[in-house]
Amino acid sequence: MKRQRKILKKIHITRSVVPNLLTLGNIFSGFTAIVYMSQGDFFLGTFYIVMAAVFDMLDGIVARLLGATSEIGAELDSLCDAVSFGVAPSFMLYKAYFYQFDEIGILIASLPALAGVLRLARFNVQMTSFDDKLYFRGLPIPGGALTIISFVVFYLNDNYFGSYWTGICAFAVSIIVAAVMVSTFKFDNFPRPSLRNFKANPIMFIGVLAAFVVGFITWGWSVFPTMMLYIIYSAIKAFVNGIREIRRVKYDL
């Protein structure tokens, strides 16, 4: 009995165990999604990618509540995100459509995974604190995953635009999502639900809430067009701000 107590004293369990376990739930969900998608079940695959996103959200919230944020937790989170929101959606694209193009199909389908991993590495290098950001440089990898899985499930699988145009859209979605993830476009961060965030940015808050409600009412059908609008809006905003900055520098000179 005394020996067991000594062993227990040597085992040092920190508060970071809880958020880290939630983070591991993220990668487990991503792995499970890949297994189901390999069997052709894209619905369950999508469900587990969404579950990975839930775990990804919860681990950050719990870490802040417990005061257990750490560099190890951030690195673990990125590794899990690379699988759940990078590899899994790219595999979905390949399994659903690009398998028929052999090596070219593998390359095109892998672009979101490659870009997502690069974006995660850049984010980790540039991270200066664990506080919520007002915006991100480049589309966050969960946003890229959400765009891809909503397109595959609700548009690609149903051949929504006809065989020819749906195929064109598949190529476009893979390339565009990859491009905006590695871009330096500023993407506004979605505010966490709180009275303070509502007062700080009511328009953004109401817009996100409306998008969530519409997505729920349409059973997810509206998610893909909503994400594309978010991407287009951010790209146009970045372009306009770039023109303004060029003019400002020109006139200052």
Confidence at residue 106, expressed as pLDDT on a 0 to 100 scale: 97
Which H or E run contains 250? helix 223-252
Confidence at residue 136, expressed as pLDDT on a 0 to 100 scale: 85
Show the low-confidence residues of the chain (pLDDT under 70): 1-15, 68, 128-134, 190-202, 250-253
DSSP 152: I
Confidence at residue 71, expressed as pLDDT on a 0 to 100 scale: 76
Confidence at residue 203, expressed as pLDDT on a 0 to 100 scale: 73
Structurally, the chain folds into a number of domains equal to 1
CATH for 62 = 1.20.120.1760
User: Considering the domain boundaries, does residue 214 fall inside one?
Assistant: no
Distance, CA of 126 to CA of 135 (rounded, Å):
13
What CA–CA distances, in Å, run from 147 to 45, 160, 185?
Answer: 14, 16, 17
User: Considering the domain boundaries, does residue 53 fall inside one?
Assistant: yes
Residue 35, burial from CB neighbour count under 10 angstroms (0-12, 13-18, 19+): middle
**Over the range 89-101, which residues count as b (16 or more CB within 10 Å of their CB) and which as e?**
bbbbbbbbbbeee
Confidence at residue 245, expressed as pLDDT on a 0 to 100 scale: 79
User: Considering the domain boundaries, does residue 194 fall inside one?
Assistant: no
User: Considering the domain boundaries, does residue 96 fall inside one?
Assistant: yes
User: Considering the domain boundaries, does residue 200 fall inside one?
Assistant: no
User: Considering the domain boundaries, does residue 201 fall inside one?
Assistant: no
Kindly calculate the radius of gyration of the chain based on its CA atoms and give it in whole angstroms. 20
Confidence at residue 227, expressed as pLDDT on a 0 to 100 scale: 95
User: Considering the domain boundaries, does residue 205 fall inside one?
Assistant: no
Domain of residue 7: give its range.
2-189+222-252
User: Considering the domain boundaries, does residue 231 fall inside one?
Assistant: yes
Confidence at residue 241, expressed as pLDDT on a 0 to 100 scale: 86
